[in-house]
Structure 1
């Protein structure tokens, strides 16, 4: 799997360099998803809320706030808005409203951009439309616990069961664990709404780690053997950072990867998968379940919140 001294930053740097010769996919998932499903989700959401507002001019800020008031009312509080799928849905809502007040055309249905990765055939994962529709709905029912419980139950029932053992390709495996994470937080949110207990949480299934351990097919849009030659030649001419990174990340002694391009792609992919496995395990943990926090739009607004 590569030299253990190859840190994530080096893997990313080397992958970016290698893509000039072999444009394999970018594996990094949505930062929104990672941040909003973390234990620090309320802090991350507040920072995103402020960043979106400061990107607007004063007139746009007023329009942005007015649209939020229309949705959430004068108090400007969002039930459980600082955690889980509600925080995630709010982050997408902020981006959508900001684009609208700038006069951009924004679809109000369909897949949420950037939530999942598109595979080389141009497809998104199973359940992507269901999850996107649910996340688009959440802000409009967040303060109605009865409706929120009913709709969350309904969308959880619509989710198609997974067959992780059939997932073989690089992008598909990343999408699978992203989907498991979102679905898991939907179920955690439903348990909150039902006043359930931590004992009812679904346990983290170590079998899901097979997503990162089983043989993976990497989609390399090149002839890797030819790309290897050009890559090695360019590394020798590169700056010291790239040369040092290659030395840190080259295959261990005795390891024989299919090609260097496969090796470099797998380095970055593995770092992403291990990171996502941690996010998934955390997102359905007792710690995240007991973290229940509303989000105060009014207190964090840059403009006066009309009474």
Structure 2
């Protein structure tokens, strides 16, 4: 790929130049998705809650707060709301309510815009629908432990079944690689949630189901995106890469910053065309840069099982 001196900032610099010459997708996932499924999800959720409220006019904020009171009641507490998948569902709800009080139309079905990447034809991956349904449902059942467990188990299995039915060709495109990574991250965090709220018997059943489904799919996709995209990855480049090389090199030579980044990032194979190489670096930077999110499950279970207090963090009077 590139040499070890090629840092994330170098990749960003070269990718910016390359996309101007030969457009290819921005592989960076939604900060909402990554932040809310991280170990620091509670802090990220509090910050996002404040940011959304601060973006509203006084009248809009009143309507926004009323919408939350209608959903969660006078107590304003969400069970495990500061953790993982529940935090993500609340963040989605905040954004949805904010758009609604601004008078924007928001769909209540289909994939939630922005959480996953669209393929070149404008379609979301199959698992985006099931994950979106789950995230929209959670705010209304989060304080109902038995319902929350049952629905979480159901959607956990449904998301995994989607992965079994995917194309297992030795080649895949760049968008598929990123979406598979995001799906696996969500699946991982939903697994952790179930481990936190169920007994050992239920956990064993879940693990057994995971192993069975992994055997059924032969685990080819997981190997590909956990170790980085293989040479068979197809990149969606909107140009003729060979023809665009001269223009790319000309643009790189226009500033010292781009020339230094270019010098640090060199392909091991001198015959590799520059534009696909830069796209590959950008993809690897996203995939490998988020591997830390796949932390040890046992470590994740030690994270405080924190409820989220909507009332304490509200910028408007809560109880009426």
What TM-score do the two structures reach when normalised by structure 1?
0.91
CA distance, structure 2, for counterparts of residue 8 and residue 234 of structure 1: 20
Whole-angstrom CA distance in 2 between matches of 1:274 and 1:194: 31
Matches within 5 A, 1:204-219: 208-211=222-225, 212-215=228-231, 216-219=233-236
For residues 196 and 139 of structure 1, the distance between their equivalents in structure 2, rounded to whole angstroms, comes to: 26
Question: CA contact under 8 A between 2:127 and 2:162: conserved in structure 1?
Answer: no
1:257 deviates by 5.0
1:23-53 Cα offsets, whole Å, 9 max, x none, are 0111101111110011100000000000001
The match for 1:300 is 313
Asked if the contact 1:64/1:97 (under 8 Å) is kept, the reply is yes
**Cα deviation 1:185-244 (Å, max 9, x = unaligned):** 2222122221449x85859999734322532121111000111011111222x2221121
Q: 1:242 aligns with which of 245, 255, 258?
A: 258
What is the rounded CA distance, in whole Å, between the counterparts of 1:221 and 1:232 in structure 2? 17
Residue matched to 1:290: 302
1:220 aligns with 2:224: no
1:278 offset after TM fit, Å? 2.6
Can you list the C-alpha shifts for 1:84-103, whole angstroms capped at 9, x where unaligned? 10000111110010111111
> What is the total number of aligned residue pairs between the two structures?
302
Are 1:15 and 1:268, in contact at CA under 8 Å, matched by a contact in 2?
yes
Cα deviations by residue, 1:106-139 (Å, 9 ceiling, x for unpaired): 1122110111111113222121111110111001
Tell me how far apart the structure 2 counterparts of residues 31 and 233 of structure 1 sit (CA, whole Å).
33
Separation (CA, whole Å) in 1 of partners of 2:162 and 2:7:
35
> For structure 2, which runs of at least 5 residues remain unmatched after alignment?
none
Separation in 1 of the partners of 2:38 and 2:149?
22
How many angstroms apart in 2 are the aligned matches of 1:221 and 1:213? 20
Structure 1 pair 218–75 and aligned structure 2 pair: CA distance change class (3 A): same
**d(CA) in 1 for partners of 2:65, 2:199:** 32
Question: What residue is the counterpart of 1:162 in the other structure?
Answer: 163
Q: C-alpha separation between the residues in 2 aligned to 1:182 and 1:239?
A: 40
* Counterpart for residue 194 of structure 1: 198
Worse overlay, 217-226 or 179-188: 179-188
- The answer to whether the 8 A contact 2:229-2:284 is kept is no
Alpha-carbon RMSD across the aligned residues, in angstroms, is 2.3
Please tell me whether the aligned partners of residues 24 and 236 of structure 2 are also in contact (alpha carbons under 8 angstroms): yes
Could you say if the C-alpha distance between residues 115 and 274 of structure 1 is closer, same or farther in structure 2, counting changes exceeding 3 Å? Answer: same
Task: Tell me, in whole angstroms, the C-alpha distance in 2 between the residues paired with 1:129 and 1:213.
Answer: 25
Runs of at least 4 residues of structure 1 off by over 4 A?
A: 199-207
The unaligned stretches of length 5 or more in structure 1 are none
Distance (Å, rounded) in 1 between the aligned partners of 2:271 and 2:123: 28
